[in-house]
Amino acid sequence: MQPVLKKRDISELPAATYAPVVQGCLEVFAQASRCLQMLDDESYQASMKPVVNSSIGEHFRHWLDVFNAVYQAGIVIDYNRRRRGHAVETSRSVALEEIARLQHWLMGLSDKQLKKSVSILTEVSVSHTQACLMSSTLEREITFAALHANHHFAMVKVAASLMNKSIDEDFGIAPATATFLRGQS
């Protein structure tokens, strides 16, 4: 029997309530929640190799790891921390719980908090281990996390398509691309 997943949607929230960066992230989370509603656990866990190496659940775990790195950070955001093999890779309900927690956190951020200076730690080389520490702001890193999620959504959409699963047409479309497409109509 399929678990009943409660749909989480921000469509009732007025756009002016949150900073634009937060609003954009909330849209990302709403898209992710809708995607999870359209899938079953089997398709969430399936790998469509060789076209897409990671399962949809592994893609969700990865982009949620990026948001969690920002959420859990103090002064340094460590993007090298990963939770490979975590339950979020196999359970849509765990993914929805994480999305809800992150939405709640984002909705509580003030403009002052968004402008806060942070440092990020991230690997920068594929050929050898080399991490760099860089300066940024919380606002910029939240933006990065949302855009990174969108990149993974595009891969999720390909995997879902290979399984003949229907996903929202705008899922995985970058904000700049959406603006371009609106200008074409």
Run of H or E residues at 63: helix 56-72
Give the residue numbers spanning the domain of 95. 18-179
Say whether 76 sits in a helix, a strand or coil: strand
How many domains, the chain?
1
Residue 7 lies in a domain: no
Residue 78 lies in a domain: yes
Could you report the per-residue pLDDT of 109-154, keeping only the tens digit for each? 999 999 999 999 999 999 999 999 999 999 999 999 999 999 999 9
Residue 125 lies in a domain: yes
Q: What is the CATH number for 49?
A: 1.20.120.450
Q: In this model, does residue 74 exceed pLDDT 90?
A: no
Residue 9 lies in a domain: no
What are the residues whose beta carbons fall under 8 Å from the beta carbon of 110, sequence distance 6 or more? none
Residue 185 lies in a domain: no
Residue 3 lies in a domain: no
pTM of the full structure = 0.88
